[in-house]
């Protein structure tokens, strides 16, 4: 009668171990964005290179596109920059930029030095539009379909795997649907 009782701690631990093993395969940093599945937030900002012209939510529909939030003060943005350049070169998808809480001169210099993968950049110096997009850290990358609906969001720098396994398949799928 006593023996089964003494097995309880071992059983409790076994359950916990299974849970922890499952937990290892989850990513606690992956926070789902409430914006996924919703149309892009309304905005209209001056372009980075050509302040007279604007870039706004209207420009983000019609074709499948990416919106990449970046800044020159952000080290991880620099890490993912090469990937963006490579992705732009394939021509599979248009990349728009949201230059976030940055200085115009610094951002222009950055694009000159490291290359410009973007179709166009919106200049969000005070970060007001970034708030509507729910940006809480740079870099962030949104996948937007041709209807202007956000389909996916990547927080943190892109990696070769993320581009290959998540972004490109999604882009192709969205392209084939429209």
Partner 1 sequence: MTPELGQFALILALCLAVIQSTLPLIGTYTGERHWMSLGSTAAWGQFTFLSIGLCCLIYAFLDNDFSVAYVASNSNTLLPTMYKISAVWGAHEGSLLLWVFMQGAWGVAVAAFSGKLPETVRARVLSVMGMVGVGFLLFMLLTSNPFERLYPAPLEGRDLNPLLQDPGLAIHPPMLYMGYVGFSVAFSFALAALLGGKLDAAWARWSRPWTTVAWVCLTIGITLGSWWAYNELGWGGWWFWDPVENASFIPWLVGTALVHSLAVTEKRGAFKSWTVLLAITAFSMSLLGTFLVRSGVLTSVHAFATDPGRGIFILTFLCIVIGGSLIIYAWRAPTVTGGGRFDFVSRETLLLANNVLLVIVAALILLGTLFPLIYDAFELGKISVGFPWFNKMFISFMPLLILVMGIGPNTRWKRQDPAELARRLRLAFIVSVTLGVVFALPLLPGASPLAGLGIGLAAWLVTTLTTSVVDRLRHKRGLAAIWRDVTVQGRSYYGMVLAHLGMASAVVGVTLVSLHGVEKDVRMSPGESLEMAGYTFVLEGVEKHQGPNYRADRGKVRILRDDEEIALLMPEKRTYTVQTKPMTEAAIDIRPTRDLYVSLGEPVGGGDWSVRVYYKPFVRWIWFGGILMALGGLLAVSDRRYRLSVRSRRTIDATVTPAAQEASG
Of 26 and 113, which has the nearer Cβ to partner 1? Answer: 26
Q: Is 17 in the site for partner 1 (CB under 8 A)?
A: yes
Q: Which of 7, 36, 58, 131 binds partner 1 (CB under 8 A)?
A: 7
8 or 113: whose CB is closer to partner 1? 8
Closest CB to partner 1 among 32 and 91? 32
Q: Are 48 and 104 in contact (CB under 8 A)?
A: yes
In sequence order, the 6+-apart residues with CB closer than 8 A to the CB of 37 are 149, 150, 151
Q: What is the largest CA-CA distance in the chain?
A: 84
Question: In whole angstroms, how close is the CB of 41 to partner 1 at the nearest point?
Answer: 22
Candidate segments 28-36, 40-48, 106-114, 128-136, binder of partner 1 by CB under 8 A: 28-36
Q: Smaller CB distance to partner 1: residue 20 or 113?
A: 20
* Cis before 139? omega within 30: yes
What is d(CA 92, CA 23) in angstroms, rounded to the nearest whole number? Answer: 35
- The sign one gets for the Cα dihedral 54, 57, 61, 67 is positive
Q: Which residues contribute to the site for partner 1 (CB under 8 A)?
A: 2-3, 6-7, 9-10, 13-14, 16-17, 19-26, 28-29, 31-32
């Amino acid at each position: 009668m006593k023996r089964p009782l003494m097995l309880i701690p071992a059983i409790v631990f076994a359950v916990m171990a299974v849970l922890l093993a499952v937990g290892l395969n989850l990513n606690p940093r992956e926070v789902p964005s409430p914006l996924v599945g919703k149309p892009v937030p309304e905005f209209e900002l001056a372009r980075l290179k050509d302040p007279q012209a604007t870039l706004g939510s209207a420009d983000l529909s019609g074709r499948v596109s990416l919106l990449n939030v970046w800044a020159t003060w952000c080290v991880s943005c620099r890490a993912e920059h090469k990937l963006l350049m490579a992705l732009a070169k394939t021509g599979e998808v248009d990349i728009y930029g949201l230059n976030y809480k940055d200085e115009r001169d610094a951002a222009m210099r950055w694009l000159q030095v490291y290359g410009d993968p973007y179709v166009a950049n919106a200049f969000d110096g005070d970060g007001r539009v970034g708030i509507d997009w729910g940006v809480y850290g740079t870099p962030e990358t949104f996948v937007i379909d041709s209807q202007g609906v956000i389909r996916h969001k990547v927080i943190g720098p892109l990696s070769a795997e993320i581009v290959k396994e998540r972004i490109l398949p999604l882009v192709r799928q969205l392209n084939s649907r429209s």
